[in-house]
Amino acid sequence: MRKTGLAASVLWKSLSSVMSSENHEVRVGFEIRVASLLADIAAASESRRAALVAAGGGAVVDWLLETVGMTSGWENCGTQAESARALAYLIADPNVCEYVLGRPHAVPYLLKFIFSAQPRQSKKHTRRSSFDLSDSLKGRSMLVAAIMDIVTSHCESADKVSFKPTLPKDAEMRDIAAAIEVIEEGGMHWDEPHGEDDVGGEGMKGIGMKILEGTAAVGLSRTNGLVEMGPPDTSHRVKYTPSNIFFNKITDGSSARSNLSSAVVPGLWDDLHSEQVAVPFAAWALANWAMASEVNRYHIQELDQEGHAVMAALVAPERSVKWHGSLMVKLLLEDQNLQLSTSISDWTSSLLSTVSHASKTQDIPLVQIALSAFLISLERSPSTQEVAVEKGLHLMREAAKQTTKHSSVQEALAKALELLCAREWHMSLEESQHWSGVLLPWVFGQLSSDALRSSAITILSRILEDYGPSSIPISQGWLTIMLSDVLESKKTALSKGNNQPKSDKVKTQIDQANVVLAAQISNQLAGAVVNLVGMQLGRVANADDTHPLADLLSLEPFAGPLKNLKKDKLPKINVADSAVATLKGIKALTEICAEDTLCQNKITDFGVLSLLRRLLLDDDYEQLAAIEAYDASRASEGQDRVPTVPGEASTTANPNDASSLRVPPTGHIRKHAARLLTVLSVLPKVKKGLVGDKEWCEWLEECANGRISGCNDPKIRSYARATLLNIFCDDQAGEDSVNGDVLHGNLSNKAHTCPRYADMILLINPELPHWKCMEKIMPKSLDGSSPPNDSAGSECTTDEDINNDISSTSASESENISQSEVPSVDVVFIHGLRGGPFKTWRLSDDKSSTKSGLVEKIDEEAGREGTFWPGEWLPSDFPHARLFSVKYKTNLTQWSGASLPLQEVSAMLLEKLVDAGIGNRPVVFITHSMGGLVVKQMLYQAKAEKKDDLVKNTIGVVFYSCPHFGSKLADMPWKMGLVFRPAPTIGELRSGSPRLVELNDFMRQLHKKGMLEVLSFCETKVTPIVEGYGGWAFRMEIVPLESAYPGFGELVVLESTDHINSCKPLSRSDPSYKETLQFLHKLKSLSR
């Protein structure tokens, strides 16, 4: 390499000496041979090319560049061709290319070469074969091939945008100006003087170049498919040295031939005209300069202040020019130090057009780079957002449809649309409906990335917020696809047996039953979506592809119902029917995911929080019902104008008549949406989302306090408070937590985990101050910051503003309590057969059930109205306790649905109670019927599983009509198989069950050791069981005295009281309440 460099230097000195000679023929002949020798050296090896570029401090390369840039003197064509061949090898070598192109004025010289070596467009001889080239043009052809190779090598993938710039960081402004001129004008100004124009009889044959508003011939013309390098008179054509002098290294069989890169093979690009090479190269150069340095970008913008050159690149027909033009826009806009061009709106429009056309041809790299520039333009300029919203949304949507297999493109489109939706711009309702068919597949696509899914969810949420009741088909469709997707996953898991423990066939049967029911509801939901759209928009079945919701309805599972929709008859459905379908969908989704963490995470990823937020905070169905009623009234007004017989009423009800409309069950929807939110609120990502939503946190607080219309149901209020407790839970909380074990804790030396409240654990009176001691419960917020030093009655917050806002609304309604007044006892109510967490404990008008129906319905009917005594009496009579109520599924017969066995119910409740921190302090269980057996089994299991805290801290149990030794009712199904089919739970309640005896012995031992106090109540009146013809045909005593008394503890016999009403006192003086209250005060005094 060193010898080659020395030889090149000596050669350069000799050339310099000869060039100073006045003998023109000697100088020209020597130049040709020197250029040929340099080309042969460059073709030899990589090391020789490296030596060549270093020779003379770059002087050799400078001479080669100057030589190829010559535009006059036909006698220099041979030298130019050989210099071009040398440069072709150098530029094709990535190791020296940067050095060559980085020489001063390299780009202008090469641009001049392109215009002199390539013909301009002509209507004749538009193509020619490389085999027709004369030897004198091979070098030129090779250099053009090398240039086009570097131009096109970096625009085949957006991943290569980060390639290392080849051009220098400090480019001269006149070099940049030359490139800008070529892009904008299609030509460039020559520095050298030009000869006379070819104006002979044969007409001008040279290339017409725009030079300062004029044209001049620059020496190339096409004759018989060849370019002649001389005047029209062929007798003056320059005679060149034989080809073996110029191209001996290529034509012979030497090893250099094998080193010849495909990038310098002559003839590859010879069918292109000069502009088709020069403009792409100029665009490449500008993009490289822009990437190289901030100074270059400043010079580019200074020279192209109006942005015309960049715009010319964006609209150029050549693909590589569009690609590098898009890259230029991206780089210029990324530079925050540069002022925005006045043409940025035009750039944005052109970029969108490029995205649209390139997506149709599946030119993904071009789509990617244009989208990246488009994204930055949206971020930098509001004017571009207006352009995108007004002119580009349909182009973006069509591009999304064309590129479904390319996740990077989908992500960029989603991000762009998200940027638009995040600003003050809004899509029209029709455009939103069009986009729903694109957004929902983004949410549920198996190959969708987290970023794509997140953007789609954000956009859908914005649509629901913007158009409320008009967006119900979209939100309902969202819920339908979510339920269908979860069902498929659940079916797959059940078929593989992943969720079926060997000893738990019953629970698997329950899961399968839930799946079957959910599948039916999913079909109903899909039909409701199609029918609602049909009612609103007419005959959907006849809709073509231009229908706003056509893309949505073409998705599964809507395609089937849409196909079955009668074309000649609109469906008879109103908003209430649609709301009922949504209610069933939410309930089914909750049942499937309540105990399945994988399912919970799945629906969270699918955006269920956005749906729940909309269902809870807004009343879309009520608004749509009002709109429907208004439309119906307008229609009826038109009918009233038709003359009718006075006093004659219509005998046919109009389904659209306002009188037939009913208020949708939005209260029930909210309740079950709140339940699902509570289930999900223990997930970290759900916590993060809710904590950052100030409006939602405020709504939950207001709901928990009962200050929101339509949210007075005790369950929804409990869910709201439980959700707040869960999301602000800090597992690193200290031991001074109100739910911790500092008061009576056996875990004081253990790591504390804050409580998690499941949907089975319902909070009684969630508005009370002790539920609001958030800084006591969670000493630190999720971000690790310390809580504000407010009173113990302050609300749960994530920042000071939320805390102050919520605290100010509640300070006047609740008293602050000090640490010493924090309730020290937990009281947990557990219902029995066919009971509920609230209805079981409501007051009744009579202590007997003679006015009620079948035993399965007695408790349900009695609990609809009346005082809920645990919530209305105990807080004032026994203010020392936190009150909970537990709900679980247990049905009398399989006619009402399958039930979990006693052991499974108890195991599930044990887990939920422990998670909620119940058992870390003194706890009293108040139970009815089978609820007492659940508690006994739960304590037994806790002991077996070493969960000693719950066993040790359970200081008392109240049993209302508990069948300690079995129930006569449980014996009935086995004797009356034609009447009842027993559920698994009921079988364990039969008289003489060994399991019940074992549990009772366990409780007896706890009582004997002084660890547990027991209070039992016994019924004395029969309860109606089976309704016969003409009246009640059968009554029985469900839990007789011998089964209601466990053999230890206190016993209270309730006169004239049946099984159902044993836990429903008539007043505070009723023994069923009075004795319980005294029992609680006794336990409180004993626990001190």
pLDDT of 432 above 80: yes
Structural domain contains residue 134:
yes
Higher pLDDT, 813 or 299: 299
Which pLDDT value is given to residue 639? 54
Structural domain contains residue 774:
yes
Lowest mean pLDDT among 495-509, 738-752, 940-954: 738-752
Which pLDDT value is given to residue 504? 58
Segment 907-936, tens digit of pLDDT: 889 999 999 999 999 999 999 988 999 999
Do 136 and 245 share a domain, yes or no? yes
Do 795 and 936 share a domain, yes or no? no
Do 708 and 771 share a domain, yes or no? yes
Segment 177-209, tens digit of pLDDT: 999 999 998 887 655 544 444 333 333 333 333
Domain boundary among 254, 275, 296: 275
Which pLDDT value is given to residue 263? 53
pLDDT band at 264 (very low <50, low <70, confident <90, very high): low
Lowest mean pLDDT among 531-535, 656-660, 839-843, 941-945: 656-660
Tell me the average pLDDT across 898-914: 81
Do 926 and 816 share a domain, yes or no? no
Which pLDDT value is given to residue 705? 92
pLDDT of 1052 above 90: yes
pLDDT of 450 above 50: yes
Distance CA(863)–CA(871), nearest Å, equals: 14
pLDDT of 289 above 60: yes
Structural domain contains residue 269:
yes
Higher pLDDT, 914 or 790: 914
Which pLDDT value is given to residue 54? 87
In total, how many domains does the chain have? 3
Do 711 and 833 share a domain, yes or no? no
Domain that holds residue 833: 825-1086
Segment 210-221, tens digit of pLDDT: 333 333 333 333
Do 703 and 831 share a domain, yes or no? no
pLDDT band at 683 (very low <50, low <70, confident <90, very high): very high
pLDDT band at 664 (very low <50, low <70, confident <90, very high): low
Which pLDDT value is given to residue 210? 34
Tell me the average pLDDT across 520-538: 84
Higher pLDDT, 743 or 583: 583
Domain boundary among 275, 305, 325: 275
Higher pLDDT, 539 or 165: 165
pLDDT of 620 above 70: yes
- CATH number, domain at 838? 3.40.50.1820
Q: Quick check: 194 and 215 in contact, CB under 8 A?
A: no
Do 852 and 926 share a domain, yes or no? yes
Distance CA(471)–CA(544), nearest Å, equals: 20
Which pLDDT value is given to residue 268? 63
pLDDT band at 1085 (very low <50, low <70, confident <90, very high): confident
Q: Is the pTM of this model over 0.85?
A: no
Q: Which residues pair with 214 in a beta bridge?
A: 211
Which pLDDT value is given to residue 572? 73
Distance CA(844)–CA(857), nearest Å, equals: 14
pLDDT band at 761 (very low <50, low <70, confident <90, very high): very high
- Torsion angle in degrees (nearest 10) through CA of 977, 979, 984, 986: -110
Structural domain contains residue 926:
yes
Q: In Å, what is the CA distance from 242 to each residue of 30, 33, 36, 68, 179? A: 15, 12, 12, 20, 36
Which pLDDT value is given to residue 200? 39
Rounded to the nearest integer, the mean pLDDT of the chain is: 76
Structural domain contains residue 230:
yes
Retrieve residue 655's tokens.
């389904």
CB crowding 600-635: b at 16 or more within 10 Å, else e? bbbbbbbbbbbbbbbbbbebbbbebbeebbeebeee
pLDDT band at 824 (very low <50, low <70, confident <90, very high): confident
Structural domain contains residue 956:
yes
pLDDT of 675 above 90: yes
Phi then psi for residue 828, to 5 deg, are: -120, 125
In which residue are the tokens 């809580």 written?
787
Do 795 and 829 share a domain, yes or no? no
Which pLDDT value is given to residue 514? 84
pLDDT of 655 above 90: no
3-state SS, 803-837, equals HHHHHHHHCCCCCCCCHHHCCCEEEEEECCCCCCC
pLDDT band at 346 (very low <50, low <70, confident <90, very high): very high
50: nearest Cα among 101, 109, 95? 95
pLDDT of 818 above 70: no
Do 782 and 922 share a domain, yes or no? no
Tell me the average pLDDT across 289-312: 93
Lowest mean pLDDT among 74-83, 164-173, 711-720, 978-987: 978-987
Which pLDDT value is given to residue 808? 40
Do 808 and 917 share a domain, yes or no? no
Tell me the average pLDDT across 614-618: 92
Long-range contacts of 798-803 (CB under 8 A, 24+ apart): 798/691, 798/692, 798/694, 798/697, 798/728, 799/694, 801/694, 802/694, 802/697, 802/698
Share of the chain above pLDDT 70, in %: 68
Of these ranges, 542-546, 576-580, 811-815, 864-868, the one predicted with the greatest mean pLDDT is 576-580
Structural domain contains residue 171:
yes
pLDDT of 690 above 80: yes
Domain boundary among 247, 275, 303: 275
CB crowding 309-333: b at 16 or more within 10 Å, else e? bbbbbbebebbbbbbbbbbbbbbbb
Which pLDDT value is given to residue 275? 84
Distance CA(759)–CA(174), nearest Å, equals: 73
Higher pLDDT, 1026 or 231: 1026
Which pLDDT value is given to residue 162? 53
Do 889 and 941 share a domain, yes or no? yes
Share of the chain above pLDDT 90, in %: 41
Which pLDDT value is given to residue 187? 80
Segment 996-1017, tens digit of pLDDT: 899 999 999 999 999 999 999 9
Which pLDDT value is given to residue 132? 39
Tell me the average pLDDT across 697-714: 90
Q: Quick check: 249 and 44 in contact, CB under 8 A?
A: yes
Q: In Å, what is the CA distance from 944 to each residue of 462, 937, 1002, 1016? A: 52, 11, 11, 25
Higher pLDDT, 717 or 140: 717
Do 806 and 868 share a domain, yes or no? no
pLDDT band at 573 (very low <50, low <70, confident <90, very high): confident
Segment 2-29, tens digit of pLDDT: 555 566 665 556 556 555 555 556 566 7
Distance CA(563)–CA(540), nearest Å, equals: 10
Retrieve residue 94's tokens.
């990535």
Retrieve residue 772's tokens.
């609001």
Q: Which is it for strands 1013-1018 and 954-960: parallel, antiparallel or unpaired?
A: parallel
Structural domain contains residue 770:
yes
